[in-house]
Amino acid sequence: MTHGRAVLITGASRGIGAACAHAFAARGDRVAVHYGASESAAGAVLAGLPGEGHVMVNGDLRNAQEVRAMVDAAAEGLGGIDVLVNNAGVFFDHRIESSTYEEWQQAWADTLGVNLVGAANVTWCALQHMPRQRGSRIVNVGSRGAFRTEPQSPAYGASKAGMAAMGQSLAKALGVEGISVTTIAPGFVETDMAEGHLEGESGIAIRGQSPFNRVPTAQEVADAVLFLASPEAEWASGTVLDFNGASWFRL
């Protein structure tokens, strides 16, 4: 017997995605744990989820055909898709002043391929399985880097800015079908992706950007995603939620 909602989370083998998987499963939802390369990590996340009906799906988000097959597999395993969390993301340092032309091109292709075009393709494919009724949700995990600038990784900032714009466009397009679309924009988060930046003097400076003198846990971000995906958050559709502990502001 199935219960709860069917939730597809991309990049759910670690960090924010893994925390989101646990948060949704804890409230009784069925979760599809997507991974790109870390099969063992995704398997560990899947094995640790409370409840039943969860599945694990694989696909390179840079490959449109793999995306379609992955989303279809998730929908088949879950019995549909009610909630999509576009969480998968990559970050590469590629300073324009020091990258070779080949490195520069590859960084843009890989970053946009996963963070923006991949997310767009996952969204299109997931929509084919979403019920056209009030309550379906799409939550994009963006970044304050979309607005603050990312001089070491301009493709990352551009991809997240594109994600925010995409989310607002889709909120307008899909609201008539009862589907809410939101984007959350965290700063640094306590994950293995940010681990190198949060060590030593760099970590002290980053934590000092917030008056709370810390960065959030992945669980705190997951709790916010859970709210944006909730029935109570329909009127937040089109929102880009800054989630950075007052470390940076935009007007």
Give me the active site residues, please: 156
Q: What is the distance between the alpha carbons of residues 113 and 26, in angstroms, rounded to a whole number?
A: 31
Which amino acid is residue 26, in one-letter code?
A: A
Is residue 94 helix, strand or coil? coil
| Helices first, then strands: H and E counts in the chain | 9, 7
Strand 6-9 and strand 30-35: the pairing is parallel
Residues 244 and 187 sit within 8 Å (Cβ to Cβ): yes
- Classify 200 in phi/psi space as left (phi over 0), alpha (psi -120 to 50) or beta: left
Phi/psi of residue 107, each to 5°?
-65, -45
The string of DSSP letters for 150-185 reads -TT-HHHHHHHHHHHHHHHHHHHHHGGGT-EEEEEE
Is residue 6 helix, strand or coil? strand
> Which tokens is 41 given?
């990590």
Q: Indicate the helix (H) or strand (E) that contains 243.
A: strand 240-243
Q: What is the distance between the alpha carbons of residues 59 and 75, in angstroms, rounded to a whole number?
A: 14
